[in-house]
Amino acid sequence: MKFFLPFTLAFLSAITCSAQLEITESIKDFGLLRRADSHWIDVEIKNLGSKTAYIFRVDAPKNVEIKFSSKEIPAGGNAFIRIAYSPKVEGKFKEELGVHASAWNSPKKIEIFGESTHAVSSVVPCPDFGSEGRTSSSEFHVSVKSLGDERSIEDAEIDIYKNGEKVYEFKTDQYGELTRAIPYGRYLIAVRKGSAEIDTAMYVNAVNNHLVVSLENIEDDLPMGNNVEIDEEIAEESITETPAEEEEADSVAEVKELERTSLPEDSEPAEETEYEELPVSTYKQNNLVFLVDVSASMKQRGKLDLMKISIIELLKVLRPVDRFTLISYSSDTEVLVQTDSNLDRDACIEAIRNLSAGGGTAGARAIKKAGKLAERSFVDNGNNQILLATDGAFNEEIDKALRFARRNRRREIGMSVMGIKCGPFTEKQMTTLVGESGGQFILIEGASDADERLIEEIKRSSRR
């Protein structure tokens, strides 16, 4: 024992010196946690040292479940700790977790906090890494009835989407019920009978596995999306824009024109049936720059899901000659995809699937960035268009946004706005914006809108 202890201390000291572990974000905000929301977050740990390091354990209360992507972190590598929180009571919560690792002499702290709208009686399962819960499934129940008289609605259509793509299609039985086993995970669920439709996002697991939908006056051929009610907590939030940092003053005269890398339109294919939706003889080559809002408000009410559905459905009909750029914006702006030729649909769709929401909104700066990228990929005699997908108005930078829109229009780059479940104020402001940019306001309220309206707009704007 006299020899073992010094050796152990020396060994641990060597590991500590050569492995430098860093928790990327030690404070994590769940925000408003509803039954419909995913109840887990990931925390990244990086190894900045020259030797392999190890995570030993995480100290957590009984209502917090922990999983690891890996406990071994090679030099220069990283690992993730998945933290699943099951609220014991409604209201605000805060928990402090202790992470033990070989590179630290004492545990490092991770703090999680938020506000829950509900309480659960048992621990909600934490999904495995790489599966997002696909290896575990739950009996999922949907009950559809008419509002008021509580009649069961037979043959109501139930479409279930995951990451922007439809994964299941069901109908209710004669009792207005549906029961199917589906994997744990977050889904957008659209329920339709005739022209009455509603959708909601929810996280399905062993605890949260029953959706009750009420449709009002379904025989009266109501407009799509009207007079529907869902028996689920829907947390409305005020959309607060984060002011962008003040940009340098500039004028149109001071802005240097970017060199256009425009190319002649690609020749027509031998058989136009290859492009059934967009035949080359009818529709121009497209240069589309998607500017997508991924601020925190897009998490709510399935807005991000509807945006994903719209863009993925369009990608499925775009041609190899079309150009596609994807820019996300919240507090910052990031270029995710830029394709000038040989459109890779699968890669673009995967980028859309991976979009997540969080942060504020810097919309005007993002429009300026989108204009520059549209200019670089400009197509002579083509449809050069920015498509802004957002749920919120620009509270403080609308003047800048209008100026950038006018500038882009002078360069023959139009802009349309996809309004995702927008309110009246947002719709009014965005209509003004597209008026300056020569585009259209495309209102998307539900899954059926998301399936069709964006494709219709591209057909309109690219028609020869």
pLDDT in tens, 403-446: 787 887 888 888 888 888 877 777 777 777 777 777 788 888 88
Q: What is the mean pLDDT of residues 224-247?
A: 38
Max avg pLDDT among 64-78, 296-310, 345-359:
64-78
Strands (DSSP E) found in 314-456: 323-329, 333-339, 383-390, 414-420, 441-444
> Do residues 229 and 211 touch, judged by C-beta distance below 8 A?
no
Structural domains of the chain, with CATH: 18-116 (2.60.40.10), 137-230 (2.60.40.10), 252-263+271-462 (3.40.50.410)
96 within 8 A of 59, measured Cβ to Cβ: no
State which H helix or E strand residue 440 sits in.
none
Residue 208: pLDDT band with limits 50, 70, 90: confident
For the stretch 66-123, pLDDT in tens is 999 899 999 988 999 999 898 888 899 999 999 999 999 999 999 999 888 888 777 7
Nearest to residue 196, comparing CAs of 236, 244, 144?
A: 144
Residue 316: count other Cβ atoms within 10 Å of its Cβ. Answer: 12
Write out pLDDT tens, residues 315-335: 998 888 898 989 888 767 788
Positive or negative, the CA dihedral 417, 375, 413, 269 is negative
Cβ contact 61:95 at 8 Å: yes
The CB-based long-range contact list for 248-253 (8 Å cut-off, 24+ gap) reads 252/407, 252/410
Given a contact cutoff of 8 angstroms between Cβ atoms, the answer to whether 123 and 159 are in contact is no
